[in-house]
Structure 1
Amino acid sequence: MARYVGIDTSTKTGFVALDEYGDVWDAQEVEVLGKDPERMVKLIDSIVHLVGTEDVVCIEDFAYAQVNRMAMLGGIGWGVRMELFKRGITYIEVATGQLKNFAGCKGNCSKEDLIIPIYELWGFRNGSDNVRDAFILAQIARAIKETVRLKAFQRDVIKKVKGR
């Protein structure tokens, strides 16, 4: 049975795995303490270890930030992508705006603006914005592969993600 996985890479990475019915199998924020680069390597290994070879994976695409933060997040994001590639696990990149649109929000809304729509659409709550983003990504992965009842704005997002 396939799982649908969402990964929001960051220094505190959101990870969510759903089954074909949308039930949450795993929802966690992965953080590793320590000094870089060892911390980054352990974080990347911890994330990739959670992903199975049959999982359908959506990863949030890179967003723009301050130069130093961007380098750190890019390192983590590329590290996860390279490790998935080495294991033969394909992934789908989803733009930040598409992630937010799939939850019914504008692409430039704040992370806090997603809390209520996520709960109203799926009944999911979590205190971590990284886990909430990963949850939406997992829902997108599921909607790409399963026959899922979607609202018009969600169908638009899936069409754009598939066309990428």
Structure 2
Amino acid sequence: MSFRYVGVDPSTNTGVAILDPSGAVLDRVEIVGEGEDPGRINDVVIRTLRMIQRTDRVAIENFSFNSRGSYVGQQYAIGWAIRIGLYVRKQKYLEVAPSQLKKFATGVGKGSKEDLIIPLFEQWGFQHKSDNVRDGFVLAQIIRAVHEPVNLTRPQKEVIHKLLNPSPKKPTTKKTKRGK
């Protein structure tokens, strides 16, 4: 069975890129919702989920917890709604931190969205005017590298290793009030 590899950068303008097993781009699009919220959010989510087939392998960018601005609530709503849609389908997905996405593309885990433009072109010959689609493309390359024999740089290998072997989460301790 041949799989497709889908990268999703969920935001008010959601970037989606779909690759075949060899890394050829099958589709790339920026989904911009129409109408007013919450209908606009729903439009982005439905159109994104329609692009994803049940047999696709999916990577989705994790939330940027340092984001600011009025769109952050909408960004979280879209991100969670896409995850819930995949969950309802019983479709697994890999969450990739923004720093891991940048490290996979550039070799370092920080930088601006514009810092991806040249490395994406040099490494994969990929160009797109939308930074959301560029992020979706890198996410698709990451999920592809998890499942296909792909030549990777040392930083890319580190990202894949960390995604497949996450650090165990420390148990949270509850503080209880006594007395009074």
> TM-score category by the smaller chain?
over 0.9
In the alignment, what sits opposite 1:154? 156
In the alignment, what sits opposite 1:63? 64
Check conservation: 1:105, 1:114, Cα contact below 8 A: no
In the alignment, what sits opposite 2:54? 53
Under a length normalisation based on structure 2, what TM-score does the superposition of the two structures give? 0.88
Per the TM alignment, residue 35 of structure 1 is displaced from its structure 2 partner at its CA by 0.6
Taking only aligned residues, the RMSD between alpha carbons, in angstroms, comes to: 1.0
Q: Is 1:110 aligned with 2:112? A: yes
In the alignment, what sits opposite 1:8? 9
- 1: CA distance, partners of 2:143 / 2:22: 12
In the alignment, what sits opposite 2:176? none
Per the TM alignment, residue 105 of structure 1 is displaced from its structure 2 partner at its CA by 4.0
**Superposed CA offset, 1:88-121 (max 9, x none):** 2110000000000001243220000110001111
Q: Which has the larger radius of gyration?
A: 2
Q: Stretches of 4+ moved more than 4 A in 1?
A: none
Under a length normalisation based on structure 1, what TM-score does the superposition of the two structures give? 0.97
Give the unaligned 5+ runs of structure 2: 167-180
In the alignment, what sits opposite 2:171? none
Give the unaligned 5+ runs of structure 1: none
Check conservation: 2:104, 2:156, Cα contact below 8 A: yes
Secondary structure of the corresponding residue to residue 103 of structure 1: helix
**Superposed CA offset, 1:53-97 (max 9, x none):** 110100000002126432111100000000011112110000000
Check conservation: 2:103, 2:110, Cα contact below 8 A: no
In the alignment, what sits opposite 1:95? 97
Q: How many residues align?
A: 164
